[in-house]
Amino acid sequence: MVWAGLFAGMITGMCATAYGFFAAALPLWMSLMLYPAAGLGATGLVIAALSLRSWMQSQPVFGQAYGNRA
């Protein structure tokens, strides 16, 4: 979960920086400040979503996991 979050955060931060500098014509220092802001937001959202997904999945009961041979 953490690796997926970090990867998504790096990609999002890089895209936000490039978009801010080239498309929105922000100064370089302001574009570079977008990197941690966007990266942190994306990382937090991905980790939270994957944690929630993992938590919401039904956990197998011992008997079901081993074919009721317990």
**Tens-digit pLDDT profile for residues 2-57:** 899 999 999 999 999 999 999 999 999 999 999 999 999 999 999 999 999 888 87
Cα separation, 6 vs 64, whole angstroms: 35
Report the SS3 class of residue 1.
coil
pTM of the predicted structure, to 2 decimals: 0.72
